[in-house]
Structure 1
Amino acid sequence: MNYIKTEIDGVFIIEPKIFNDSRGYFFEAFKYPDFEKNIGPVSFIQDNESKSCRGVLRGLHYQKGSYSQAKLVRVIKGCVLDVAVDLRSGSATFGKHVMVELSDENKRQFFIPRGFAHGFLVLSDEAIFTYKVDNEYSPENEASIRFDDPDLNIKWPMKSSEILTSKKDLEAVSFKDAEYFF
């Protein structure tokens, strides 16, 4: 696998080596020794999967404090635009974001460490999105930031009228009012 550092420390794009032949393809989706060598030790404890249609935007979500989660995300069907926002207040990239297209064609993965908000927008008719997390979900410690917050200046490639999101995400706080990591 090729581990690509992004402009934000700790966030990586991972490109697998794909072996194609007349029967189809094969690739290693996750190999812990290589992951640990390139990114560091992360103990994933759970795999999650979601299915969404075109225009669905999930996020920008995060877990607060000791319930924070590192995530390794990928798309097994369709295409999404995935975003990670740095909420580490002491970081040189605090408030900045990294955006990457993940699809069943490019087979890229995106590693997002603890201390980040995360969200994605479905670009294809349908997308199946899967991710590993290193901490259990805690409803009491869940938080969200508005996906269209002007301070974050995320350039989503769809008009707001085309985006489908949950009531909870529409009621999310602004970046200024979010809880950060120290």
Structure 2
Amino acid sequence: MMARIFGYARVSTGDQDLSLQVHALQGAGVGKDNIFTDVVTGAQAIRPGITALMAAVGEGDTIVVWRLDRLGRSLVHLADLAAQLHQRGVGIRSLTDGVDTSQATGRLIYGILSTLAEFERETIRTRVRAGMAAARRAGVHCGRRPALKAEHVAHARERLASGEPARRVAGFLKVSEATLYRALARHPLAPPAAQ
């Protein structure tokens, strides 16, 4: 199969014009029928044009963009997209950034991009962990909302104290026995008030 050249252009709003990017792509040899476009912000996860482009390209093909930031929503997204394309044997060429992954310098930039993206991912993970630890120290619950509230746990204790089996109490509350036991541990009985 002969290698093909595809183009991708994106603008953030309907007020902006795709024509500058489209003309540049056509000037680089991309046929009109092989240009995919989106009019969405880079942060938008769903982009019909990029989805159709990813379905169309195959091994040996090249995607041409006016600038790399038109292709990816963020550094991490761009690196992930580039890695997917690389695994499929699809090259990327950016007209204004001077990146061409079929050339040695383009592959070097791709490697740097991937390293920076991994650094950004790790930085985000570290910040999230630190934020969650600070929230827990402040008494804020992190993660999923508990399945049982304190009043449910109090009701469960009463039923268990009257001799009802834990399996039946859990079934009544529509949770598993493990969830019931975790909730009981999370809401210990208050010590009796001093007389």
The TM-score by the shorter chain falls in which range? under 0.3
TM-score (norm 2): 0.22
**Of Structure 1 and Structure 2, which has the larger fraction of its residues in strand?**
1
After TM superposition, the score normalised by the length of structure 1 is 0.23
